[in-house]
Structure 1
Amino acid sequence: MAERIQKELKEIEKNPPDFCSAGMVGGDIRRWQATIIGPPGTPFVGGIFKLSLTFPPKYPMKPPEVTFKTKIYHPNIDRNGNICFNILKDDWSPAYTISAVLVSLCSLLSSPNPEDPLEPQIAAVFLKNKVQYEEEARKWTAKFAMS
């Protein structure tokens, strides 16, 4: 496990995905912090979103635990930063890397899935009034993700 994580760490430091970065916390190979820059064309643009990653002992056979530490208004991310995302749950594959996970999370910011929400109220706003959803997401991004 540590060997695989070390390899991924070197790769992400050498060639980080667009709008993302990640690294160890305090020298602990099993705990990382990641950052996603709000993707262009989304209400999250300009925001800097911090995430926590914890690798289970059975990684890569089991997915990492990933949570948003920065508050975000999104139907698939709850108030505690938990993420409802298939590749971090049932659709996990050991072939995924942390770079791929971060890129997929950027895609989730660009294309929420209101059909499988963690925040049903936000999903309802997204489905009924996308303009209102985007306005609220921009407000949260300005309040919580911009220094």
Structure 2
Amino acid sequence: MKYRKKKKKPPSFSLSSAFHRTGAMIRLFKVKEKQRELAENANGGAPVKKQSPGELRLHKDISELNLPKSCAITFPNGKDNLMNFEVSIRPDEGYYFGGTFLFSFQVSPIYPHEAPKVKCKTKVYHPNIDLEGNVCLNILREDWKPVLNINTVIYGLYHLFTEPNYEDPLNHEAAAVLRDNPKMFESNVRRAMSGGYVGQNFFARCI
């Protein structure tokens, strides 16, 4: 009679043991991370601030900025707060030629998976920017994708001034004037930038 070898049973898989091993690995990783931080701070200096993925990506974006001469970026809070900065745009053509418009940027720690929050700090008579500074720009809303960057957003804002769009308005009154009477729209823009009233709204000089 031939001797048959018993087949070895495959090792049983235990979900609880898998979780236990995973938990142990995470704890080990945290211990190593803590040891690394302690080693970095062993010189007695201030603790090293860990950068979020959003900060790391923003550093890359800023280092690769390629802006037109009419746009500039500044960091009012200094190098310790790069996630909040300002961009000034001075259009060199179109209705808003010669005006200077300031925008604030707030960048999320999960950037670029979330678009930066952008507001116009300069009160402007514009179909795509309301009187509170909210901006209607598709890439800041439904068309945002992680492959886009700060450079793209700034060019998009610049484009709003060279080609304002009455079909997707935030300031419906300005949009209607641009659509129906471009000459009057141009006059209103110049009056607003020079410092004066358009209708019931006063605009500070920005030219």
Q: What residue number does 2:85 align with?
A: 32
Distance between the aligned counterparts of 1:56 and 1:38, measured in 2? 28
Q: What residue number does 1:120 align with?
A: 172
SS in 2 for 1:124: helix
Q: What residue number does 1:59 align with?
A: 111
Q: How much has 1:136 moved relative to structure 2?
A: 0.7
Report the TM-score when normalising by structure 1.
0.90
Q: How much has 1:22 moved relative to structure 2?
A: 1.1
Q: Is the 8 A contact 1:43 1:135 kept in 2?
A: no
Q: Is the 8 A contact 2:126 2:171 kept in 1?
A: yes
Distance 1:88 1:24, change over 3 A: same
What's the RMSD between the two structures over aligned residues? 1.3
Q: How much has 1:57 moved relative to structure 2?
A: 2.2
Distance between the aligned counterparts of 2:60 and 2:193, measured in 1? 33
Q: Which has the larger radius of gyration?
A: 2
Amino acid aligned to 2:206: A
Report the TM-score when normalising by structure 2.
0.65
Q: How much has 1:18 moved relative to structure 2?
A: 3.6
Distance between the aligned counterparts of 2:175 and 2:67, measured in 1? 31
Q: What residue number does 1:22 align with?
A: 73
Q: Is the 8 A contact 1:51 1:68 kept in 2?
A: yes
Q: What residue number does 2:127 align with?
A: 75
Aligned length: 143
Worse-matched range after superposition: 75-84 or 133-142? 133-142
Q: Is the 8 A contact 1:17 1:99 kept in 2?
A: no
Amino acid aligned to 2:178: F
> Which gives a bigger RCO, structure 1 or 2 (Cα 8 Å, sep 6+)?
1
Q: Please state which structure has a larger fraction of its residues in strand.
A: 1
Q: How much has 1:94 moved relative to structure 2?
A: 1.3
